[in-house]
Amino acid sequence: MGTSGTAPLRAVFFDRDGTLIHDVPYNADPRRVRPMPRARESLQRLRSRGIPIGVLSNQSGIGRGILTAAEVVAVNNRIEQLLGPLDLWIICPHVPADRCPCRKPAPGMVLKACTTLGVSPSETALIGDIGSDMEAAQVSGSRGILVPTPATRAAEVAAAIDVAADLEAAVDLLLKAVAGGTES
């Protein structure tokens, strides 16, 4: 798996907004959380195979003073209520001007997730909806799978190595590779 295509899949990371849930900019209200179609089932397929799953999310609303960390945690808790337990949450609260090493497209969150779970980036995949997700995957050594939404730019789709129509198709790509192409 991974960028070389040879390492086993040992963890899958997801972007939050626009990937696991519908994007509500700077959402501080757990009642506004709406999962993407088949998100729960897609995550369950990974869980049932013992593959850890986590969320890596830029949350610049914290750094901008629009959201509090507690509000982000409340939204994340609602996501887990709707989608089931996640093994890992890593949030970057910084604004782009901070140029922190964790904010996607930098590799920091991917690398921290890998360290936390004791896996190599080449044994992981990052599923997201925009180019910065794919860049973070690439520079960290993880496999990136783009799931475009109306917010995804055409250039981001063209630049992506792997593109899936939806979350379920992205998980299909990963599980088929794990099973040597035999997963149905």
User: pLDDT, tens digit, for every residue of 15-34?
Assistant: 999 999 999 999 999 999 99
Residue 101 corresponds to which amino acid? Answer: P
CA nearest neighbour of 57 among 94, 97, 15, 18: 15
User: 112 in a domain, yes or no?
Assistant: yes
Structural domain tally of the chain? 1
pLDDT at 3: 42
Cα 40–Cα 31–Cα 36 angle in degrees, nearest 5: 30
Per residue in 57-83, pLDDT (tens digit) is 999 999 999 999 999 999 999 999 999
Per-residue exposure over 93-131, b if at least 16 CB sit within 10 Å of its own CB, e if not:
bbbeeeebebbbbbbbbbbbbbeebebebbbbbbbbbbb
Distance between CA atoms of 13 and 50, rounded to whole angstroms?
A: 14
Query: Which structural domain, as residue segments, surrounds residue 67?
Result: 11-178
Distance between CA atoms of 153 and 131, rounded to whole angstroms?
A: 8
User: 116 in a domain, yes or no?
Assistant: yes
Distance between CA atoms of 94 and 177, rounded to whole angstroms?
A: 35
User: 160 in a domain, yes or no?
Assistant: yes
User: 3 in a domain, yes or no?
Assistant: no
Question: Domain with 163 in it: what CATH number?
Answer: 3.40.50.1000
Distance between CA atoms of 138 and 160, rounded to whole angstroms?
A: 10
Q: What is the pTM of this model?
A: 0.93
Residue with tokens 């914290």: 62
User: 183 in a domain, yes or no?
Assistant: no
